[in-house]
């Protein structure tokens, strides 16, 4: 299994869509033993244990600090 590098305030894509507006994009808002993410579509906040988050993440869309083009 490949380890995906992510950090606080990164925008990530999950494997499954959120039912709000079919958004797969989330912003990481808290990191620790648990990872808290906020849906970019509706603003819903969900907390995952780190091991579960590592299974559900697909890729990093934008690293924190990168400017939007």
User: 24 with 2: CB under 8 angstroms?
Assistant: no
The more confidently predicted of residues 66 and 46 is 46
pLDDT band, very low/low/confident/very high, at 68 (cuts 50, 70, 90): low
Reported pTM: 0.84
Domain range summary for the chain, segments of one domain joined by +: 21-62
List the alpha helices (DSSP H) in the chain.
50-56
Lowest mean pLDDT among 10-14, 22-26, 44-48: 22-26
| CA distance from start to end of the chain | 31
pLDDT band, very low/low/confident/very high, at 69 (cuts 50, 70, 90): low
């Amino acid at each position: 299994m490949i380890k995906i590098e992510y950090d606080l305030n990164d925008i990530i894509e999950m494997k499954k869509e959120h039912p709000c507006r079919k958004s797969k994009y989330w912003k990481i808002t808290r990191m620790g033993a648990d990872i808290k993410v906020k849906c970019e579509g509706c603003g819903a906040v969900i907390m995952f244990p780190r091991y579960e988050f590592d299974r559900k993440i697909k890729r990093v869309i934008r690293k924190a600090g990168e400017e939007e083009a």
